[in-house]
Amino acid sequence: MADFNPVGWFEIPVTDMDRATVFYEAVLGMKLQRQQLGPLEMAWFSSSKPDATGAMGSLVRHPDFYKPSQDGVLIYFTAPDIDATIARVEPAGGKVLMPKKQISPEHGFMAVVMDTEGNRIALHS
């Protein structure tokens, strides 16, 4: 087994960065850091703690290289209060695809939602 988390970065495709940023900030209760890198537009998920756990990632928009999909990789976002997080999805413009369910007593709970761009993401507590 590796002595490190092999997930170093993830990117979630979006078509409307303003709309997607509002959705993720509302649902996750955090501020994303917007970046413009030439034609590539990004909004980074980050922590104010340098030693925070979890993989870094970003919303990304580039008309030639990124297309939102509900059929690709499923990213799980940690939601310490999963009920409150799920409650923010639909008011922020998303849709709950699978309500909260217990994975197992030792692995907690999960839900699957669709963001405003058509990406399927999961919430985990």
Domain count within the chain: 1
Residue 4 lies in a domain: no
Residue 2 lies in a domain: no
Residue 26 lies in a domain: yes
Q: Where are the alpha helices (H) located in the chain, listed in sequence order?
A: 17-28, 82-89
pTM of the model: 0.88
Does the pLDDT at position 122 exceed 70?
A: yes
Spell out the long-range contacts of 104-112 with Cβ–Cβ below 8 A and sequence spacing 24 or more.
109/82, 110/76, 110/82, 111/82, 111/86, 112/74
Please report the pLDDT score of residue 108 as a whole number: 96
Residue 68 lies in a domain: yes
Domain of residue 92, residue span: 9-124
Please report the pLDDT score of residue 48 as a whole number: 74
Residue 3 lies in a domain: no
Pairing of strands 95-104, 75-78: unpaired
pLDDT digits (tens, 9 = 90+) for 63-114: 899 999 999 889 999 999 999 999 999 999 999 999 999 999 999 999 999 9
Does the pLDDT at position 6 exceed 80?
A: no
Does the pLDDT at position 4 exceed 80?
A: no
Please report the pLDDT score of residue 30 as a whole number: 92
Q: Residue 116: give its domain's CATH number.
A: 3.10.180.10
Residue 28 lies in a domain: yes
pLDDT digits (tens, 9 = 90+) for 39-59: 999 999 987 777 777 778 999
- 1 pLDDT band, cuts 50/70/90, is low
